[in-house]
């Protein structure tokens, strides 16, 4: 019986070790991912496993796991001579991402217009006013977070968990593009005006109308991002 207990304890310790390593690897992954999508680590920057491990004072195993996960998600690419570099965006990346978004998010908005409960629009209206206050005070740093929250709340009203999961799969790219768009004052203002129109259409349960508006909203953003790309603002 004592031998059985000993083996059981050894098994539990092994599982604990695996869990801790995975948790650490996930932490490294999230830290690097956020640094990349926020532009703190820019495209072309070299990422070396040993340097990260040394800087964080951890073993190289969780760092290696994090880097491979970032590579699978297309945020970094492996270099022939070792190490990784942050992957730059191409024109095709931008057009593909916005094309997919225009279909998925406009459909989610249409479902939201058809399925929402009247009282659920109040939270969206409050988010619009929160955005407007930040805009009026020149707090442009707050706009990205509020804008993202508005869209998340809107699509949640679609009552389609699967659709929301698919949209969230593009979250990192969406964040990067939205940041570029909202840095422009005219676009920051136009964005909230569109949000007000979305609420008006949703109140009338005009699914077709809100679907078109969201598609146009996204494609206007695409034009801005492509314009910046062509001026070499994105690397």
For every residue of 166-213, DSSP letters joined together read: HHHTTHHHHHHHHHHHHTSHHHHHHHHHHHHHHHHHHHTT-HHHHHHH
Q: What is the CATH number of domain 2-86?
A: 1.10.10.10
Q: Per-residue pLDDT tens for 126-159?
A: 999 999 999 999 999 899 999 999 999 999 999 9
Count of alpha carbons within 13 angstroms of residue 91, beta-carbon side: 8
> Quick count: other Cβ atoms within 10 Å of Cβ 14?
10
**Lowest-confidence pick of 31-45, 91-105, 202-216:** 31-45
Indicate the class that CATH gives domain 91-230. Answer: mainly alpha
> Quick count: other Cβ atoms within 10 Å of Cβ 197?
15
| Domain(s) of CATH 1.20.120.530: residues in the chain | 91-230
**pLDDT of 16 above 50:** no
Q: What is the mean pLDDT of residues 58-86?
A: 89
**pLDDT of 12 above 70:** no
| Domain(s) of CATH 1.10.10.10: residues in the chain | 2-86
């Amino acid at each position: 019986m004592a031998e059985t207990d000993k083996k059981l304890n050894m098994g539990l310790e092994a599982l604990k070790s695996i869990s801790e390593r995975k948790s650490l690897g996930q932490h490294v992954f999230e830290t690097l991912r956020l640094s990349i999508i926020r532009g703190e680590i820019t495209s072309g920057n070299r990422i070396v496993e040993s340097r990260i491990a040394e800087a964080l004072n951890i073993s190289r195993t969780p760092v290696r796991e994090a880097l491979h996960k970032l590579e699978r998600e297309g945020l970094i690419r492996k270099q022939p001579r070792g190490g990784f570099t942050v992957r730059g965006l191409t024109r095709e990346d931008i057009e593909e991402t916005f094309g997919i978004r225009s279909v998925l998010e406009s459909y989610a908005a249409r479902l939201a217009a058809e399925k929402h409960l009247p009282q659920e629009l109040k939270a969206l209206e409050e988010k619009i006013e929160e955005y407007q206050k930040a805009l009026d005070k020149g707090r442009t740093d707050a706009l990205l977070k509020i804008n993202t929250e508005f869209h998340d709340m809107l699509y949640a009203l679609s009552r389609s968990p699967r659709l929301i999961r698919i949209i969230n799969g593009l979250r990192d790219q969406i964040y990067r593009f939205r940041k570029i768009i909202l840095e422009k004052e005219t676009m920051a203002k136009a964005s909230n005006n569109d949000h007000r129109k979305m609420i008006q259409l949703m109140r009338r349960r005009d699914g077709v109308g809100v679907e078109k508006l969201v598609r146009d909203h996204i494609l206007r953003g695409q034009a801005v991002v492509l314009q910046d790309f062509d001026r070499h603002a994105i690397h």
